[in-house]
Structure 1
Amino acid sequence: MCIGIPGRVVALDPRQPQHVWAEVCGARREINIALVCQAGQPREALLGSWVLIHVGFAMSRLDEREAAEMLAALQAMGEVESDVVLFMTGEGNDEIR
């Protein structure tokens, strides 16, 4: 299954200018923001923003309402789809917490 999950940008990566740290279901994950950066806008402007994350990339920006709705839908799916639970909890991943 290929799904994206909402995450909130919580920190900048000082080593890589196109990477930030996002909080996803209580875990912090390093993500690439190249696809959501706006020309002329500093990456600091993304701090606190919600983004849709798929395979380590922020695919689009979300507002807080959209993020909450998507997380609720994913939690509901987790009740019937075990792979969604694994994705949301990060089990089997090597993320830094």
Structure 2
Amino acid sequence: MCLAIPGKIISIAGQYDGVFRIGKVAFYGIMKEVNLCMVPEAVIGDYVLVHVGVAISIVDEQEALLTLEYLEKMDEAKELKFPVT
């Protein structure tokens, strides 16, 4: 099964190049570089669903936090050990 995880965009590099636009995205306090080519309208502070290193859609904060809460309850986020806030 494939799963997309929501994270918050903290910074964006390459803003003028849609193909190589990269963002730093926070997941439970862990920062990862994510390709933003599929969400050209995304801005710092947005929550995005990330699958295999690519943001595939923008989601609102409430939906993102609810999804993270569900993952935590299912024990899917146990290795991250950060509270959902």
TM-score (norm 1): 0.69
Counterparts of 2:25 and 2:32 in 1: how far apart (Å)?
Answer: 5
Counterparts of 1:68 and 1:85 in 2: how far apart (Å)?
Answer: 13
* Alignment correspondent of 2:73: 76
* Alignment correspondent of 2:83: none
How many pairs were matched up? 77
Q: Secondary structure of 1:85's partner?
A: coil
Q: Which runs of 5+ in 1 are unaligned?
A: 39-44, 79-83, 90-97
* Alignment correspondent of 1:49: 46
Which of the pair is proportionally richer in strand?
Answer: 2
Counterparts of 2:12 and 2:38 in 1: how far apart (Å)?
Answer: 16
Which of the pair is proportionally richer in helix?
Answer: 1
* Alignment correspondent of 1:6: 6
* Alignment correspondent of 1:19: 22
Alignment root-mean-square deviation, CA: 2.2
- Per-residue deviation, residues 27-83 of structure 1 (Å, max 9, x unmatched): 100000011114xxxxxx6100000011100010000110011011100111xxxxx
Q: Which runs of 5+ in 2 are unaligned?
A: 81-85
